[in-house]
């Protein structure tokens, strides 16, 4: 199948406007004849469900949490980008577009990224109208701060809880539609499969997590907004429940999975302390505005710090290496996440890491507190500092934070075209669930922007085009495909429940995470990836032989839920390694040690790899088929990224 991204013709700045005009419309009285399924209630899902219901569509909304507002978008801290240029510091829609393309190491579509930058200004207006309490500067305008990969201040924020406030705005809009009866909300309900009829997505199969009942739901279209798959690494900044199951089951029904190896490692996380941990905690990238990242200049000083013979305060200024400021004077501590992460790893690899494990560097606010005063720092970052204190029992006002890279965001996901449609008609993917707009590395504060862009300002237009094409003929669950897909799900769940081995599912998940982090994490090699692929195959075989899944289906059964998700993670892990092996270049978060510049930066191979890798599922234990969407650059010049 040829991959048609459906990028509109014409000048970059006119593509989206012209495309909207050319899309088919559904008149208001006909909208109520269509049923739309939205899976996920984060920023993308909640905004899409609310917007579509406001337009008049009948919406069914699903989440596995006990409330829509518990979606993982609530965990985003630092801010959301928009090209408002309130600071009058040189920002523009085109500069946001360029920074995003460059930040993604030229592995994203120009058309998608420009549209994202273009609608960013509308997102802020929408959220302010909803009452989102963005910070304001003395003149009353919304305040901005900087994030990595940019030399302007364009990030709007609500202290260190921007995601929570934005989600509350979308959640209130969703609740209004629930109250009006235009959205039917299904909480504690997990999607386990997609129903495909004559090549079109027409519904989903779910499991009621309170009763275990397997249910079917019909709709004219299915919209997935189910987040990323960072938990394939076991330890990540994601909520423990975050998983790939909805997207992966859609993949097994025909939807292509794109760029799965693109994983973002966030440089500003609280370091790992031991095998007892089930997740990691993020310290917002916004902290790098005022915090200075450093490591000891010598191994000898680092060893004394690790042995607690001295404290950070005892290290003289001349013995500190502010390595990001030294290596990247133009951007300093605000280089993109992939660059900052690799440099922190380099410090630890050289033996200059701090903390008991040596897997950490310092993020120091002493200079900022001296310059601005503790009260000002507390006003900007107080809740983040409090969180760090509660987790580590260390006071960041008195001593530097210890930080180290950890898995955060995934730039891969279901392949979608300009309309956010997968290659399966009627099946759409939004937000982190799709591969879309970030290329091989996501700039900070762009995830919230993309989720709300997709939900508020893209899908309401593009979905209507599809629905107008197929017409409002009623879809219901009496079609044999619904019963067949339901039986497939029941059989799969029974297969999991039949596992009565001696190893818990969590043990398998932890083993998978170790393999992925070691061989498909911050640095990757041909040898390591080949080894990882064989190890994952062995792990998968052992899982289906020796795992133990307790309980029954017809009850609350967290063990069954976890087993299905881990089984999907194992299969995804194998595809991620396959994709990383195929891409013999370094770009953004995908760093092949065989492909780097003399200065240790990512070295792309534009001649051979300027494409989106879209993988087609061909059956259990079968190699997936690679399809390529060539990336065309008409407005930016492909250059070696430099933040010096």
> What residues are annotated to the active site?
337
Quick one: CA torsion of 553, 556, 562, 563, rounded to 10 degrees? -20
Whole-number Å distance between alpha carbons of 353 and 15: 48
For 273-298, letters b (16+ CB in 10 Å) and e give eeeeeeebbbbbbbbbbbbbbbbbbe
- Taken in order 603, 609, 610, 612, the sign of the CA dihedral is negative
> How many Å apart are CA 519 and CA 533, to the nearest integer?
9
Closest CA to 255 of 459, 491, 463, 426: 426
* Residue 75 burial (CB count, 10 A): 17
H or E segment and range at residue 574: helix 558-582
CA distances from residue 526 to 38, 76, 246, 540 in whole angstroms, order as listed: 39, 34, 30, 21
Half-sphere exposure of 200 (CA within 13 A, CB side): 12
**Residues pairing with 37 in the sheet:** 60, 222
Nearest to 142 by CA among 158, 126, 130: 158
* Cβ atoms within 10 Å of 394's Cβ, excluding its own: 13
Please choose, from the candidates 597, 595, 598, 577, the residue with its C-alpha nearest in 3D space to the C-alpha of residue 585: 595
List CB contacts of 335: < 8 A, sequence separation 6 or more.
Answer: 148, 149, 324, 328, 343, 643
Q: Taking Cα atoms as reference points, which of 423, 570, 567 lies closest to residue 492? A: 567
Give, in degrees to the nearest 5, the angle at Cα 434 between 61 and 177. 20
Listing DSSP states for 62-90 in one string gives E-SSSSGGGSGGGG--S-EE----TT-SS
CA distance 638 to 102: 9
DSSP state of 160: T
Distance from C-alpha of 625 to C-alpha of 644, rounded to nearest angstrom? 39
Give the residue among 25, 45, 23, 30 at the shortest CA–CA distance from 177: 45
């Amino acid at each position: 199948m040829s991959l048609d991204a459906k990028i509109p013709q014409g000048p970059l700045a006119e593509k989206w406007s012209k495309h909207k005009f050319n899309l088919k419309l559904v008149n208001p009285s006909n909208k109520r004849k269509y049923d739309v399924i939205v899976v996920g209630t984060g920023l993308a899902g909640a905004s899409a469900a609310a917007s579509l219901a406001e337009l008049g569509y009948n919406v069914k909304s699903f989440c596995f949490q006990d409330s829509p507002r518990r979606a993982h978008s609530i965990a985003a801290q630092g801010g959301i980008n928009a090209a408002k240029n309130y600071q009058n510091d040189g920002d523009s829609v085109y500069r946001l577009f360029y920074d995003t393309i460059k930040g993604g190491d030229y592995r994203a579509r120009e058309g998608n990224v420009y549209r994202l930058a273009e609608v960013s200004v509308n997102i802020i207006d929408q959220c302010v109208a909803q009452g989102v309490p963005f910070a304001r500067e003395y003149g009353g305008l919304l305040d901005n701060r900087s994030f990595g990969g940019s030399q302007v201040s364009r990030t709007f924020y609500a202290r260190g809880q921007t995601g929570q406030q934005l989600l509350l705005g979308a959640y209130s809009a969703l609740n209004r539609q629930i109250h009006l009866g235009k959205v039917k909300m299904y909480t504690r309900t997990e999607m386990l499969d997609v129903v495909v009829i004559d090549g079109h997505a027409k519904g989903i199969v779910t499991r009621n997590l309170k009763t275990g009942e397997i249910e079917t739901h019909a709709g004219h279209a299915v919209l997935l907004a189910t987040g990323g798959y960072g938990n394939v690494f076991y330890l990540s900044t994601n909520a423990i429940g975050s998983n790939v199951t909805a997207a992966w089951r859609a993949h097994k029904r025909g939807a292509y999975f794109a760029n799965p190896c693109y994983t973002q490692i966030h440089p500003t996380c609280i370091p790992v302390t031991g095998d007892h941990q089930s997740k990691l905690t993020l310290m917002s990238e916004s902290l790098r505005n005022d915090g200075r990242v450093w490591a000891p200049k010598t191994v000898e000083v680092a060893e004394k710090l690790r042995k607690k013979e001295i404290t950070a305060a005892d290290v003289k200024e001349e013995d500190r290496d502010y390595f990001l400021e030294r290596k990247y004077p133009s951007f300093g501590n605000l280089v993109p996440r992939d660059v900052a992460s690799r440099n922190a790893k380099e410090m630890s690899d050289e033996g200059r890491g701090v903390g008991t494990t040596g897997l950490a560097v310092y993020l120091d606010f002493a200079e900022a507190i001296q310059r601005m005063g503790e009260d000002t720092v507390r006003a900007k970052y107080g809740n983040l500092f409090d969180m760090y204190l509660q987790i580590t029992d260390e006071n960041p006002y008195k001593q530097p934070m210890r930080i180290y890279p950890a898995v955060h965001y995934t730039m891969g996901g279901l392949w979608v075209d300009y309309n956010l449609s997968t290659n399966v008609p009627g099946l759409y993917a939004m937000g982190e669930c799709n591969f879309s707009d970030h290329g091989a590395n996501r700039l900070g504060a762009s995830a919230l922007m993309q989720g709300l862009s997709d939900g508020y300002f893209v899908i309401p237009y593009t979905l209507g085009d599809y629905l107008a094409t197929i017409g409002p003929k009623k879809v219901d669950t009496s079609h044999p495909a619904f019963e067949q897909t339901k039986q497939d799900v029941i059989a799969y769940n029974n297969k999991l429940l039949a596992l009565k081995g001696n190893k818990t599912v969590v043990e398998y998940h932890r083993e998978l995470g170790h393999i992925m982090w070691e061989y498909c994490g911050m640095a990757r090699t041909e040898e390591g990836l080949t080894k990882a692929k064989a190890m994952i195959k062995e792990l998968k075989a052992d899982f289906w032989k020796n795992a133990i899944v307790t309980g029954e289906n017809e009850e609350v059964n967290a063990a069954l839920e976890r087993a299905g998700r881990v089984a999907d993670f194992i299969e995804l892990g194998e595809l991620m390694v396959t994709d990383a092996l195929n891409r013999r270049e370094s770009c953004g978060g995908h760093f092949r040690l065989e492909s780097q510049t003399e200065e240790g930066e990512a070295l792309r191979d534009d001649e051979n790899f300027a494409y989106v890798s879209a993988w087609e599922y061909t059956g259990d234990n079968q190699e997936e088929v690679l399809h390529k969407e060539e990336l065309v650059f008409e407005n930016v010049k492909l250059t070696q990224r430099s933040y010096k």
